[in-house]
Amino acid sequence: MIGRSILRGPRPGEAGAFLLVVIIAVAVIAAFPLFWMVLSSLKTPAESMQTPPVWFPSTPNLDAFSEVAEVIDARRSFLNSFIIATTTTAGILITSLMAGYAFAKYRFGGRDWLFALVIATMFLPPIVTLIPLYRLVTSMGFNASLVGVIVPHLANAFGIFLMRQFIAGVPDDLIDAARVDGASELRIVLSVVAPAVAPALAALALFAFVYHWNTYLWPLTVLQGNTDGYPIVLSLGRLLSYNRGAMNTGLVMAGATLAVLPPLVLFVFLQRFFVDSIVGAGVKG
């Protein structure tokens, strides 16, 4: 795709050349922080303390990465991140599919009112409910555990909204035919509706996964220092205190590199899905 546009692109004139320079400049600036992160992770501690800064490590090495594994339980942190992200995503898919179906295809009193109420929560920053929510989850006994991190997020308004938008486009005939065949409503959702909106589901899954891989405030609040349950983003914060902060730049950058990799790899391979889903939600919204 990229190659094609380079090959077939129109011959740039003077304005075109200027535009190209601007595009390259923006791309370089945008990519620079991550580039610097990777470079720094390969430097020796002395190199990262030097003034003016050294750009390219003289002897690139992975020492900082093996040190990360010593300082934090990196495998455990990745596992926790994985558990949190996948479980939450699975929950969101199921609940959004079902609720989206109900809002799109059922007729019942107060439906639009309830839908509006649910959608309104999309605009609510988490901090507004953090204090009582934290107390509530604690009194349920879910604090300091992954259950407490996951359970409150098993459904969200964005997912319901997205699913309703797409399910509304599924022909009623298809659903009625399944009903005639005697399929239960849950069965219809799973075997008729879900396949029909598969691309949207995939996009929702990607977004939910990345969001819950990256989320920081709620796990920090609910895990209460139980480092055994820390996802990688929380463990990163612990790296800063290593060596009481002196000469730890390489270590911190190596940790950041590790944490960035999974969502970034996911993005590189599934870029289209991400972009299409934003476009889809925007257009249909």
Q: Which of residues 228-247 bind other proteins (CB under 8 A)?
A: 228-229, 233-234, 236-238, 240-247
For 235-252, b/e burial (b = at least 16 CB within 10 A) is: bbeebeebeeeeebbbbb
Q: Does 176 bind other proteins (CB under 8 A)?
A: no
CA distance linking residue 26 with residue 248, whole number of Å: 30
44 binds other proteins (CB under 8 A): no
Short-list 282, 281, 257, CA closest to 60: 257
CB of 271 to other proteins, least distance (A): 6
Does 147 help bind other proteins (rule: CB under 8 A)? yes
**Site for other proteins contains 269 (CB under 8 A):** no
Using CB under 8 A as the binding criterion, the count of chain residues that bind other proteins stands at: 134
- Residue 69 interacts with other proteins (CB under 8 A)? no
Binding segment toward other proteins, per CB under 8 A, in 35-43, 56-64, 170-178, 195-203:
35-43
With CB under 8 A as the contact rule, the residue among 63, 118, 168, 202 that binds other proteins is 118
Contact region with other proteins (CB under 8 A), list: 7-15, 58-66, 173-181, 196-204: 7-15
Choosing from 14, 52, 116, 173, the residue that interacts with other proteins (CB under 8 A) is 52
Kindly state whether residue 24 participates in binding other proteins, applying the rule CB under 8 A.
yes
Q: CB of 106: closest distance to other proteins in angstroms?
A: 7
Choose one: 110-118, 165-173, 174-182, 197-205; the region binding other proteins (CB under 8 A): 110-118
Residues 6+ apart with CB under 8 A from 205: 89, 93
* Eight-state DSSP code of residue 56: S
Rule CB under 8 A: which of 177-206 touch other proteins?
Answer: 185-186, 189
Nearest to 239 by CA among 57, 65, 8: 65
The footprint of other proteins on residues 156-175 (CB under 8 A) is 156-157, 160
Instruction: State which H helix or E strand residue 70 sits in.
Output: helix 63-71
CA 277 – CA 258 distance, rounded (Å): 27
By the 10 Å C-beta count (0-12 exposed, 13-18 middle, 19+ buried), 41 is classed as buried
When binding is defined by CB under 8 A, the residue of 56, 112, 125, 180 that contacts other proteins is: 125
Closest CB to other proteins among 182 and 225? 225
- Shortest Cβ 67–other proteins spacing (Å): 10
Task: Choose, by CB under 8 A, the member of 22, 62, 69, 177 that binds other proteins.
Answer: 22
The secondary structure element, H or E, covering residue 187 is: helix 185-188
Is 241 strand, coil or helix?
Answer: coil
**Whether 233 contacts 207, CB under 8 Å:** no
User: Which position has the token pair 């050349």?
Assistant: 17
